[in-house]
Amino acid sequence: MEKIVEIKGLTKRYINTIALNGIDLDIEKGKVVGILGPNGSGKTTLIKILAGLLRQSKGEVKIDSRNISVYTKSIVSYLPDRNFLYSWMSIEDALKFYSDFFKDFDIKRAENLLDFMNLDKYLKVNQLSKGMHEKLNLSLVLSRKAKLYILDEPIAGVDPVARDKILDAIINNYNEDSSMIITTHLVRDMENLFDEVVFLKEGTIKQRGEAEKLREENGKSIDELYKEVFGE
């Protein structure tokens, strides 16, 4: 099968820590991959490298067979774990902004998603609560017909009602021709989404495999396996 992401010997070093230590990871097109691990395991570092926000210290990273570049940014739809929109924007401005910069942005889908999330497009970005921010950001990211979606902790810190909405939006709007990488430590809520899972601990891959196979082989849910691997 064709690969959307190819990572070889990826290392990210900071002054006195190693965030990623020689990771090898390939992701096939059309798969939903969960990158699972506790805080500080290197999940965010890994996807920030894929999004083009961090540079690797060593190793090779390719998306759609290309090095990280302006091209890869045009085919990756990235949801950071923070409020990244400019503070002067209204929701409507944010839609226009995405529409201007990303050729694959579907404004109709975005408007439908905003309706689904009960978000008024005339609201200013700096008036939104944490949950509303998360819903808006996800609506923008899922409204692109991207080759690769990267979602960093999409349900962290939101209330259970917003969490359900966000999970529904991911399930209903995910395009099967695309691939998706989701990082989370809230495994129980998200494990049904994953085709494959990667357990990341202290910058190295502890275990990886197809979610269904891992469940069968271990007789456990991914959440239980996660607790076993990370000793929680």
With contacts defined by CB under 8 A, name the span among 29-37, 51-59, 166-174, 182-190 that binds other proteins.
51-59
Quick one: which of 60, 101, 168, 216 contacts other proteins (CB under 8 A)?
101
Q: Say which residue the tokens 């506790």 belong to.
A: 38
CA–CA distance, 8 with 68 (Å, rounded to integer): 14
* Residue 87 interacts with other proteins (CB under 8 A): yes or no: yes
Cα diameter, the chain = 51
In three-state secondary structure terms, 96 is: helix
* Minimum gap (Å) between residue 86 Cβ and other proteins: 6
What is the closest distance, in whole angstroms, from the C-beta atom of residue 48 to other proteins in the complex?
7
Residues 82, 118, 161, 176: which binds other proteins (CB under 8 A)? Answer: 82
* Cβ nearer to other proteins, comparing 97 with 174: 97
As a whole number of angstroms, the distance between CA 187 and CA 192 comes to 9
CB of 56 to other proteins, least distance (A): 10
Which residue in 151, 152, 117 sits closest to 133, CA to CA? Answer: 117
Query: Rule CB under 8 A: which residues touch other proteins?
Result: 14-15, 48, 51-55, 70-71, 73-74, 76, 78, 80, 82-88, 93, 97, 100-102
